[in-house]
Amino acid sequence: MADSPILSIRDLRAKVAGQDIEILHGVNLEILHGEIHAIMGPNGSGKSTLAKVLAGHPGYEVTGGEARFLGEDVLGLGPDERARRGMFLAFQYPVEIPGVSIANFLRTALQARLGTDEELDLFDFQEELLQRMELLEVEPSFAERPVNDGFSGGEKKRSEILQMAVLRPTLALMDETDSGLDIDALQVVAKGVKALHEEDAGMSVLIITHYQRLLSYIRPDRVHVLVGGRIVRSGGPELAEELEAKGYEEFRPAVER
């Protein structure tokens, strides 16, 4: 497993469902076991679209290419099937679901992953949940509150990382997790992701971000620049710093092609 990629995207094209405007014009990307990658790019470059398409959001339609997760093309699978295979999307804008507590649906999600043959151990679950809440510096009552209902921006992002910590994905897609976070919340979130990655070195992470600041806490193995629906440049962590200094201006012509 260590040698074969966790995620392998080839010539992925996608558009908004029901519209003719293609947003991803052939994305290629390979993430190996345990690697942390970052995708950076200006607004409107297709970063979030890529995350949503990988997670199976019904608002987008794949028009070409493939995305293999653990060797299997997942583009034909439902979002729940992808999640049960170990994919996780931390939302840029987590929705508020009244009346559904984090604990309740995480329990349901873990049980769904186990299938019908195995019963989730509720004591283990509670213990794990409490531990994870401690890591992310939230009150124990946090998990009893309805998902994101009345949460501050920082709480919503912590809730996303808490869910990730409990669900322990093989591949975490983090869609602009750093946006709308103050520096304290950013540090907590980064600490959480780092701890998870250290705990389970097999977890691969794809960080989607506009800014470099999260990457100064979580050092990526690879950085890709997505502009106009294509990856126009890839490099090591130093690329993120370069982008932070120079901006995306030099890639503009790429859009025109």
Partner 1 sequence: MAEAAEATGVTWVASGAAGAASEAGSGGSAGALPAVEGITAAIHRGAVEALAADEPTWLRDRRLEAWSVYERTPMPTTRLEEWRYTDLRRKLKLDRLKLLPWQSRKFEASRAPVALVAAMAADEAASGHVIEIDGAVAQVDLLDELRSKGVILGSLRGSVRAYPDLLEPLLATEAVPATLGKFQALNAALWTDGTFLFVPSGVRLDLPVRVSRWFAQPGRAVFSRTLIVAEAGSQVSFVDEALSSDFAEQTFVSSAVEVFARDGAQIQYVSLQRMGWGAFHLSQQRTIAQRDATLDTLNVSLGGSVSRVDLSAELRGPGANSDMLGVYFGERDQHFDHNTRQDHIAPNAKSDLLYKGALDGKSRGVFRGIIKVHKGAQRTDAYQTNRNLLLSKHARAESLPRLEIEADDVRCSHGATVGQLEEEHVFYLMSRGLTRPQAERLVVTGFLEEVLSRLPLGGVVEKVTGIIEERLRG
How many residues touch partner 1 (CB under 8 A)? 31
Which one of 46, 94, 220, 228 is in contact with partner 1 (CB under 8 A)? 94
CB 34 within 8 A of CB 201: yes
Q: Is 116 in the site for partner 1 (CB under 8 A)?
A: no
What DSSP letter does each residue of 186-237 carry, written as one string?
Answer: HHHHHHHHHHHHHH-TT-EEEEEESSSGGGGTS--SEEEEEETTEEEEEE-T
Q: Is 162 in the site for partner 1 (CB under 8 A)?
A: no
Residue 5's SS3 state is coil
Q: Is 167 in the site for partner 1 (CB under 8 A)?
A: yes
Q: How far is the CB of 67 from partner 1 (least distance, A)?
A: 15
Encoded tokens for 14? 């996608």
Which one of 10, 33, 68, 113 is in contact with partner 1 (CB under 8 A)? 113
Which one of 13, 33, 57, 191 is in contact with partner 1 (CB under 8 A)? 57
Beta-strand pair 204-209/36-40:
parallel
Q: Is 192 in the site for partner 1 (CB under 8 A)?
A: no
Residue type, 189: V
Which one of 98, 116, 117, 249 is in contact with partner 1 (CB under 8 A)? 98
Q: Is 78 in the site for partner 1 (CB under 8 A)?
A: yes
For 72, 113, 131, 226, 238, the CA distances from 162, given in Å and listed in that order, are: 27, 17, 10, 28, 29
Which one of 2, 20, 21, 99 is in contact with partner 1 (CB under 8 A)? 99
Binding mask 1-40 toward partner 1 (x if CB under 8 A, else -) reads ----------------------------------------
Q: Is 72 in the site for partner 1 (CB under 8 A)?
A: no
Q: Is the dihedral of CA 137, 139, 143, 147 positive or negative?
A: negative
Helix axes 122-135, 102-114, angle to 10 degrees: 130
Q: Is 58 in the site for partner 1 (CB under 8 A)?
A: yes
Residue type, 49: T
Q: Is the dihedral of CA 79, 158, 205, 11 positive or negative?
A: positive
Q: Is 104 in the site for partner 1 (CB under 8 A)?
A: yes
Nearer to partner 1, 2 or 98 (CB): 98
Nearer to partner 1, 54 or 223 (CB): 54
In angstroms, the CA 189 to CA 184 distance is 9
Question: Which residues bind to partner 1, rule: CB under 8 A?
Answer: 55-58, 78-80, 82-84, 88-89, 91, 94-95, 97-100, 104-106, 108-110, 112-113, 146-147, 163, 167
